[in-house]
Amino acid sequence: MNHGIDPHRLAALPQGPGVYIFKGQGTLPLYIGKSVNIRSRVMSHLRAADEANMVAQTRDIEFIETAGELGALLLESRMIKAQSPLFNQRLRRTRRLCSIRLCDANKSTVLEIVDSKKVNLGLTPKLFGLFSSTHSAKKKLNELAQLNGLCKSILGLEKTSTRGCFGLQIKTCLGACIGKEDRQLHDERLLSALKDLQVEVWPFNGAVELIEEHNGWVQKHRVNNWCHLETWCSKIGRASQFNALDTQEFDRDSYHILVKPILLQTVKVQAC
Ligand SMILES: [Zn+2]
């Protein structure tokens, strides 16, 4: 192990969940990570050959304990966004997100690309995918069209013509645009192609608290519409003060952190 970190500091690292911070010479962190076992995760960084550069620059390692994995994930995401450490992949807080919305029109499915500035993404049904731009939403649709023999004209990616779409000529479209393929079959294929991208609608009526307990202490994460609002902690007897994050805005990272534990009910939920 080639590092200048005080072994006493390493020995003091807890073996429970939380966030750890690799600190270099300055005040800015080099790297922020999370784990259910802070000590063993930090040790594995110190042993990783491809992280030797970061480890060599590390002077100290700090940590913040959480009552559970969810708290660690939420805190890590906030800290990385606020501090952009050198060795973390940039987690950018995308101000604007796009999604694909399906609507029914005359028994067939049409889709449009919607914008988080106009549509509340956590509360709107039939949304698929969270993209940082209209361009990337269309790119995804193009891929799905290619893979599933869908019609790009019907998907709104190409201008409609009476002779059918371009894909028909090169045989990537099965012909839904000219009635050669049943439109319903096309739309069913579209639905199953989009299925994995479905954005779940916030399942509660307003905010709830997600409760995590560990060794006799409790954290309550208040969340609404897939947004993390604050965390109350029994150790300090109040909610942590988070700064610089607009709390009500739909956030893609928080959504991804929260969606499984909430839908699979692996976390204790309390109305608030
Ligand atoms: Zn077509």
**Cα of 174 to ligand 1 centre, how many Å?**
7
Q: State the first-to-last Cα distance of the chain, in angstroms, to the nearest integer.
A: 48
Task: Return the CATH number of the domain spanning residue range 7-83.
Answer: 3.40.1440.10
**Cα of 179 to ligand 1 centre, how many Å?**
9
pLDDT value at position 204? Answer: 95
pLDDT value at position 106? Answer: 76
C-alpha 129, offset from chain centre: 11
| Domain residue limits, the chain | 7-83, 98-199, 208-271
- Please give the structure tokens belonging to residue 113: 């690309």
**Cα of 124 to ligand 1 centre, how many Å?**
29
**Cα of 152 to ligand 1 centre, how many Å?**
6
**Cα of 151 to ligand 1 centre, how many Å?**
4
pLDDT value at position 244? Answer: 43
Contact predicate 272/257, CB 8 Å: no
**Cα of 137 to ligand 1 centre, how many Å?**
19
Residue 192 class from Cβ within 10 Å (0-12 exposed, 13-18 middle, 19+ buried)?
Answer: exposed
One pLDDT digit (tens) per residue for the chain, 272 residues: 567 889 999 999 999 999 999 999 988 899 999 999 999 999 999 999 999 999 999 999 999 999 999 999 999 998 998 888 999 986 666 678 999 999 987 778 889 999 999 999 999 999 999 999 999 999 999 999 999 999 999 999 998 788 889 999 999 999 999 999 999 999 999 999 999 999 999 999 999 999 999 989 999 999 999 989 889 999 888 887 664 455 567 889 999 999 999 999 999 999 98
- Please give the structure tokens belonging to residue 238: 């109040």
**Cα of 134 to ligand 1 centre, how many Å?**
21
**Cα of 116 to ligand 1 centre, how many Å?**
29
**Cα of 115 to ligand 1 centre, how many Å?**
26
**Cα of 161 to ligand 1 centre, how many Å?**
9
pTM metric for this prediction: 0.86
Question: Which residues face 105 on adjacent strands?
Answer: 108
Q: How many CB atoms lie within 10 A of CB 245?
A: 17
User: What residues have a C-beta under 5 A from ligand 1, the ion?
Assistant: 151, 153, 165, 168, 173, 177
Residue 271 class from Cβ within 10 Å (0-12 exposed, 13-18 middle, 19+ buried)?
Answer: exposed
Rg (CA), the chain: 23
Q: In the Cβ-directed half-sphere of 166, how many Cα atoms lie within 13 Å?
A: 9
Q: What is the 3-state secondary structure (H, E, C) of the chain?
A: CCCCCCHHHHHCCCCCCEEEEEECCCCCEEEEEEECCHHHHHHHHHHCHHHHHHHHHCCEEEEEECCCHHHHHHHHHHHHHHHCCCCCCCCCCCCCCEEEEEEEECCEEEEEEEECCCCCCCCCCCEEEEECCHHHHHHHHHHHHHHHCCCCCCCCCCCCCCCCCHHHHCCCCCCHHHCCCCHHHHHHHHHHHHHHHEECCCCCCCCEEEEEEECCEEEEEEEECCEEEEEEECCCCEECCCCCCCCCCCCHHHHHHHHHHHHCCCCEEEEC
85/21 Cα distance (integer angstroms): 9
pLDDT value at position 58? Answer: 95
**Phi, psi at 255, each rounded to 5°:** -55, -50
Q: Angle CA(39)–CA(3)–CA(5) in degrees, nearest 5?
A: 55
**Cα of 240 to ligand 1 centre, how many Å?**
54
123/91 Cα distance (integer angstroms): 24
**Cα of 160 to ligand 1 centre, how many Å?**
9
**Cα of 158 to ligand 1 centre, how many Å?**
9
